[in-house]
Amino acid sequence: MTSSAGSTNLSMCYKPQAVLPFLQAALTRRVDLALMSDSNTVKDTLGGHNAGMRNAFAARFGMYSTGLLGTGGISEGQGSGSSGSYLWPSPAVLGTATGIAAIDAYMANDGVSEAAFFGQCYQFLPAGGAITGQQTNIICANTLQGCQLPLAAGNITNNGKIIHACPMDLTQELSWEWTQGIFTGGGYWNPTAYQTAAQNTQYATTKVSSNGAAYGMQDGNLIIPAAARNSNGAYGTITCSPCNFAGGNTLAYGVKGPVLLSYQRVQAPGVLTGIAYTTNLYQGGQDARNAALAWQNTTATAKTEFLRQLVRLQNGAAPMVCFQIIHGGNDFNDTTNSVGPIPQPSNTPAGFADNLTAIIFAVQEAWAAAGYSLSNLFFIIGPYHPALSRLSDNLIWEGQSYQQLVAYELAAMSLADSFSNLAVIRGSQATPGGFESSAMLLQSKGYYDYQSDAHLIRQGYDYWGYRTVDALISEAFGGGSTGSSTGVFSTSGTTALSTGTFATG
């Protein structure tokens, strides 16, 4: 196959074999994916591509851990913060680390564009600060909360919206992983896992000191033993909190500053293979140029730490990550020059490809600087879904024609010819009739968001995710819609949304 503008590629994937080593590895070891996209990443915390793509990859390969989550409670619009769809902290932010030189530098809170990427993904309780053990459920400036994992969809709501259940089996042994600051003259906190709305039902608790001989950062964890969990109603959530609610409303069971918490996640230690899916950039209304700028303008320290966090639970295997970049919906409105090696207006196919190049170059540079092998770094471009708007008006979508999205896909395909680790998944090829038939199909199933068909509802993102992942597996391995002929990919326990094709009947 060629990727020239005049060619026709009838498959959904272009060069899927470029990421075959990553897919093969997911069957035998732990690997991580990281997403960069626009407002479709997390739709009103209901779950966008970060849920749909994750659910599909998890259904086919298994899931060993949640994605990375910052403790700062800042939405992913400001960086790798709240995942929104099944794992999130409270929205409280407890001051800043300003004035603590060593920690300030480490967290890259130095005013160099970190506010839009990594710098707001932490919480800090300064020296003299105190949170008692039973303040953890108060969402205000006095709280310092960890994360929550719903056991079943509908147990947790945000502004009345149903939140995704965590795809992992939460009855197995779990481990709440975190990274904290160490201070001379540090304080302490009481990481505790309990059942939400029944705080006296504790699964695990311990007391952790933040005191040390010198400033620095330290990884830690709390093992949550395997147990039956009540998945009914308000009781169906595991909360990981910095306070021991059941211990009593005293400082001894709370948090005494200084305490700094940065990245966190929850893993299943007994799951040795499969994926974790992290949101790297959720930039609503933004395009590939903004994603490239975020990587270019972030300090080396912050990028190295983010990559370290991505791979640190891969059980000592050579670090391996695949970045999925889903852009194209906002690029048509950006006439600013691209920021790659050959600047062009960002709304042109050449500019779109140049911005993708800038992203790839920046990630590769940071990956190599961290000491990781470039042979274990992969990229997937797409697929962007069609909107239905003005379908009868010359196929114009908010000023952008479907043909322009196709032109972006062809530009990405040409770019893939220059990279051995880059695959392209084409939204235009999800159905035989192209974007037009896909849009009408999504409409017929009720998968568009009622406020704007630039977005989907939760089931729509699931549908698009399964279509994407099953096409990638089928074309990379050369087997059927659910993978190779050896039957290594599981389709059990999935719903009708997980069919490998868009049925038009």
pLDDT of residue 204: 92
| Pairwise pLDDT comparison (128 vs 315), residue with the higher score | 315
Whether residue 313 contacts residue 267, with contact meaning beta carbons closer than 8 Å, is answered with yes
Give 185-200 pLDDT, tens digit per residue.
889 998 888 876 555 6
52 found inside a domain: yes
| Pairwise pLDDT comparison (496 vs 344), residue with the higher score | 344
pLDDT of residue 362: 96
pLDDT of residue 107: 47
| Pairwise pLDDT comparison (156 vs 501), residue with the higher score | 156
| Same domain as 59, residue 18 | yes
Whether pLDDT at 488 is above 50: no
Task: DSSP letter for 474, please.
Answer: H
Whether pLDDT at 156 is above 60: no
Instruction: Give the SS3 label for residue 470.
Output: helix
| Pairwise pLDDT comparison (257 vs 9), residue with the higher score | 257
Give 70-127 pLDDT, tens digit per residue.
665 433 323 333 333 333 333 222 333 333 444 554 444 433 333 333 444 566 777 7
**Angstrom distances, CA of residue 392 to CA of 388, 397, 399, 401:** 9, 10, 13, 11
Give 161-178 pLDDT, tens digit per residue.
444 567 888 889 999 998
| Same domain as 448, residue 402 | yes
| Same domain as 382, residue 459 | yes
Q: Which residues contact 455 (CB under 8 A, 6 or more apart)?
A: 39, 40, 43, 48, 448, 449
Helix, strand and coil in the chain, % to nearest 5? 30, 25, 50
Task: Say how many residues make up the chain.
Answer: 505
Q: Which of 1-5, 168-172, 327-331 comes out lowest in average pLDDT?
A: 1-5
Alpha-carbon gap, residue 42 to 20, rounded angstroms: 27
Mean pLDDT of 466-480: 87
| Same domain as 249, residue 234 | yes
482 alpha carbon, distance to own chain's centre: 23
| Same domain as 335, residue 437 | yes
% of the chain with per-residue pLDDT over 90: 40
What would the two tokens of residue 95 be?
């001051």
Q: Which of 137-146, 203-212, 427-436 comes out lowest in average pLDDT?
A: 137-146
pLDDT of residue 499: 32
| Same domain as 253, residue 131 | yes
Alpha-carbon gap, residue 183 to 199, rounded angstroms: 30
| Pairwise pLDDT comparison (48 vs 120), residue with the higher score | 48
Whether pLDDT at 486 is above 50: no
Give 191-225 pLDDT, tens digit per residue.
888 876 555 678 899 999 999 887 778 899 999 99
Name the residue type at position 467: R
Closest CA to 209 of 255, 241, 244, 246: 255
Whether residue 476 contacts residue 16, with contact meaning beta carbons closer than 8 Å, is answered with yes
Q: Which residues pair with 219 in a beta bridge?
A: 179
| Same domain as 498, residue 400 | yes
| Same domain as 91, residue 35 | no
pLDDT of residue 136: 44
pLDDT of residue 121: 57
pLDDT of residue 165: 67
pLDDT of residue 145: 41
The model carries a pTM of 0.85
Q: Decide which of 270, 287, 320 is a domain's last residue.
A: 270
6 found inside a domain: no
**Which domain range does residue 464 map to?**
11-64+275-505
pLDDT of residue 264: 81
Mean pLDDT of 428-448: 89
Q: Decide which of 270, 292, 309 is a domain's last residue.
A: 270
CATH number at residue 291: 3.40.50.1110
109 found inside a domain: yes
Q: How many domains does the chain have?
A: 2
41 found inside a domain: yes
pLDDT of residue 200: 60
4 found inside a domain: no
Q: Decide which of 220, 250, 270 is a domain's last residue.
A: 270
1 found inside a domain: no
